[in-house]
């Protein structure tokens, strides 16, 4: 995993709050080509690295771009993730996205009416999420959606129950999208995902995360996988739904809406 440094003095309070090293604390890491930097750019918090390797800086944007397009044209509750998480006519479960990442799946679920707790273990990514949520709350088109999204920082594999309890939520559904290891080292990975993977690493503890989720979810756990990937180690899924590239493994305790 890469180091993250904060070099802008105006962001030092943010660095202290998230436990991230400031430039003076980064020491030799500043000259490391793998070092990623949190900075303020165009009124957004961004995570940037060597553009030749990582491309454009990474930010969380729930207002424009991909999120806006999916909000307007995504297909409503017929989307695969909505079906997997049990959003149907008259049924809108509470959801914990225990591997929040950049929050894209959580935003889709919140845009369809679900209350969503986003859990993110990487401090720099959680800081981006916090910034993206603040901007979404300030925008009239996304304010109502963002109000259904809450953020918790912690390792869901180790402390999911306490994170959920601390947020005061009772999740009916827990959504997991663990980082899938790339075994083909020659494969090209999109620069954005390369940056994210460099920071977050692979989820080697995914089976433990599944076990924790099964203990906490009242109704079902939903695990997103590449379509041809094996299920996570542990109990077999009860149901599977898929499209051309992705698959959702469903572990069901009881029927939603019952």
Are residue 80 and residue 181 in the same domain, yes or no? Answer: yes
Are residue 74 and residue 24 in the same domain, yes or no? Answer: no
Q: Round to whole Å and give the CA distance between 50 and 208.
A: 34
Residue 174 lies inside a defined structural domain of this protein: yes
Are residue 31 and residue 138 in the same domain, yes or no? Answer: no
Q: Round to whole Å and give the CA distance between 35 and 207.
A: 30
pLDDT of 167-220, one tens digit each? 999 999 999 998 765 544 434 446 667 676 677 666 668 899 999 999 999 999
Give the C-alpha distances (Å, rounded to integers) separating 80 from 87, 106, 143, 203, 232. Answer: 10, 13, 24, 23, 19
Are residue 28 and residue 136 in the same domain, yes or no? Answer: no
Residue 155 lies inside a defined structural domain of this protein: yes
Residue 228 lies inside a defined structural domain of this protein: yes
Question: Can you give the pLDDT at residue 202?
Answer: 62
Residue 36 lies inside a defined structural domain of this protein: yes
Read off the CATH number of the domain in which 205 is found: 3.40.50.150
Give the C-alpha distances (Å, rounded to integers) separating 32 from 22, 26, 84, 96. Answer: 15, 10, 42, 36
Are residue 35 and residue 73 in the same domain, yes or no? Answer: no
pLDDT of 64-93, one tens digit each? 887 887 777 666 888 999 999 999 888 999
Are residue 26 and residue 147 in the same domain, yes or no? Answer: no
For residue 238, give its domain range: 65-252
pLDDT of 121-135, one tens digit each? 999 999 999 999 999
pTM for the predicted model, two decimal places:
0.89
Question: Can you give the pLDDT at residue 15?
Answer: 92
Structural domain count, the chain = 2
Are residue 150 and residue 223 in the same domain, yes or no? Answer: yes
Are residue 22 and residue 73 in the same domain, yes or no? Answer: no
Are residue 241 and residue 134 in the same domain, yes or no? Answer: yes
């Amino acid at each position: 995993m890469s180091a993250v440094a904060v070099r802008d003095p105006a962001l030092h309070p943010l660095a202290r709050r998230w436990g991230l090293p400031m430039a003076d604390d980064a020491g030799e890491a500043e000259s490391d080509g793998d070092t990623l930097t949190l900075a303020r750019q165009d009124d957004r918090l961004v995570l940037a690295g060597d553009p030749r390797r990582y491309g454009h800086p990474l930010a969380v944007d729930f207002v424009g771009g991909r999120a806006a397009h999916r909000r307007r044209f995504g297909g409503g509750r017929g989307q695969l993730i909505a079906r997997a998480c049990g959003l149907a006519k008259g049924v809108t479960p509470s959801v914990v996205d225990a591997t929040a990442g950049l929050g894209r799946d959580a935003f889709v679920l919140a845009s369809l009416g679900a209350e969503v707790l986003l859990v993110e273990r990487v401090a720099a990514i959680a800081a981006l999420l916090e910034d993206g949520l603040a901007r979404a709350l300030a925008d009239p088109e996304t304010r109502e959606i963002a109000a259904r999204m809450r953020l918790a920082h912690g390792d869901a594999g180790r402390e999911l129950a306490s994170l959920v309890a601390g947020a005061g939520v009772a999740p009916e559904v827990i959504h997991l999208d663990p980082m899938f290891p790339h075994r083909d080292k020659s494969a090209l990975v999109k620069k954005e995902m390369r940056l994210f993977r460099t920071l977050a690493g692979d989820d080697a503890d995914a089976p433990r995360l599944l076990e924790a989720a099964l203990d906490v979810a009242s109704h079902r756990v939903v695990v997103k996988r590449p379509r041809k990937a094996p299920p996570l180690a542990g109990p077999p899924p009860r149901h599977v739904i898929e499209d051309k590239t992705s698959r959702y493994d469903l572990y069901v305790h009881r029927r939603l809406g019952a």
